[in-house]
Amino acid sequence: MRAPDYLVVITGLSGSGKSYVQSTLEDLGFYCCDNLPIELIEPFLEEVTSHENANKVGIVVDVRTHDFATIFPNFYRERLRKLVPNAVLIFLEASDEVLARRYSETRRPHPLAKDKPILEAIQQERAALTEVKSLGDMVLDTSQFSVHELKSEVLRRFQLPGQDVRMLVTIITFGFKYSPPYNLDLLFDVRFLPNPHFVEALRPKTGLDPEVVAYLKEKPEYDVFYEKLSGFVNYLLPEYKKEMKSYLTIGVGCTGGKHRSVAVGQRLADELAEKGYTVEIVHRDAKR
């Protein structure tokens, strides 16, 4: 069986941030699986590593698996470490008070709290995982970590030399008459610009056509607005990147989503791509 070049095992106390570590590893190109039964770990590794470019694997295992605390330590020492000698085990924990607060905020049930108070379940899990914790190559107490700080710590430890996690900027142009997209981080309304729809020769065209772009550029407010928009977005993107944001979605809307929003959105996408950002452009309503 071919072993992965990198295997990171993520475990620890429920509510300590394992899912955030998993998503960060995925951003780094790891192939990850959550809540994998112990008996399926070896078949999973065999299947994954048979595929090209799947040499970095992350798995999340914890008390959701039956008898995890008693079965996993010996499996990790006797099977997994021999199969992948350079495997790394991350154990995440946090204080009882912080874990209880997180469960209160999310209103999700603790896996061991079916018939007992939350603090008792947390303490039971902590005691049960003592041996698992002793196997950890890295033990992280996330009590004082924000989501961004936890992600930064994982990136610092597992980002390979020369590897850069790029933020994907998605620009969606749309028509307000068809409702705005639901998943926008930033929204810009360009309905104040002169509307090419009322020029008969331009009506069947879109903001991708040079005639429509030329029409808009003749209007002084178009370039004034775009310069302000460009400056604002170019200021924000490095700030979002510092916050470890992996995806940013920008909406640009006009009445029908065919002329003004398309022209402005495409111009912004081209500019950001020239500056080295990873950009995806979607003209949602341009063909309506």
pLDDT confidence of residue 197: 96
Burial (CB < 10 A; 0-12, 13-18, 19+), residue 268, is buried
Same structural domain, 141 and 239: no
Residue at a domain's end among 158, 176, 193: 158
Same structural domain, 72 and 38: yes
Look at 22 and 243; give whichever has higher pLDDT.
22
Rounded to a whole number of angstroms, the distance between the first and last alpha carbons of the chain is: 53
Same structural domain, 100 and 172: no
Helices 210-217 & 260-274 angle (0-180, nearest 10): 90
Quickly state the pLDDT bin for 151 (edges 50, 70, 90): confident
Quickly state the pLDDT bin for 29 (edges 50, 70, 90): confident
Residue 53 lies in a domain: yes
Q: What CATH number is attached to the domain comprising 112?
A: 3.40.50.300
Amino acid at 266: Q
Same structural domain, 149 and 31: yes
Q: What is the mean pLDDT of the chain?
A: 90
* Percentage of residues of the chain with pLDDT beyond 90: 62
Instruction: For residue 253, give the nearest of 171, 170, 169 by alpha carbon.
Output: 171
Residue 95 lies in a domain: yes
Residues contacting residue 242 through CB under 8 Å, at least 6 positions apart: none
Is pLDDT above 80 for 212?
yes
Token couple for 203: 């009506």
Number of neighbouring beta carbons within 10 Å of residue 161: 4
The domain in which residue 276 lies consists of 168-283
Q: What is the mean pLDDT of residues 149-156?
A: 79
Q: What is the mean pLDDT of residues 95-109?
A: 86
Q: What is the mean pLDDT of residues 132-155?
A: 85
Quickly state the pLDDT bin for 225 (edges 50, 70, 90): very high
Amino acid at 56: K
Same structural domain, 238 and 146: no
Model confidence pLDDT, tens digit, residues 235-266:
999 998 877 677 789 999 999 999 999 999 99
Residue 1 lies in a domain: no
* Percentage of residues of the chain with pLDDT beyond 70: 96
Is pLDDT above 90 for 188?
yes
Residue 265 lies in a domain: yes
Give 26-76 as a DSSP string.
HHTT-EEEES--GGGHHHHHHHHTTSTT--EEEEE--TTSTTHHHHHHHHI
Residues contacting residue 234 through CB under 8 Å, at least 6 positions apart: 272, 275
pLDDT confidence of residue 145: 81
Report the range out of 54-58, 68-72, 137-141, 276-280 with the highest average pLDDT.
Answer: 68-72
Residue at a domain's end among 101, 134, 158: 158
- Residue 150 near residue 23, CB atoms below 8 Å: no
Same structural domain, 102 and 226: no
Residue 117 lies in a domain: yes
Residue 48 phi, psi dihedral angles, 5° rounding: -65, -45
* Number of domains into which the chain is organized: 2
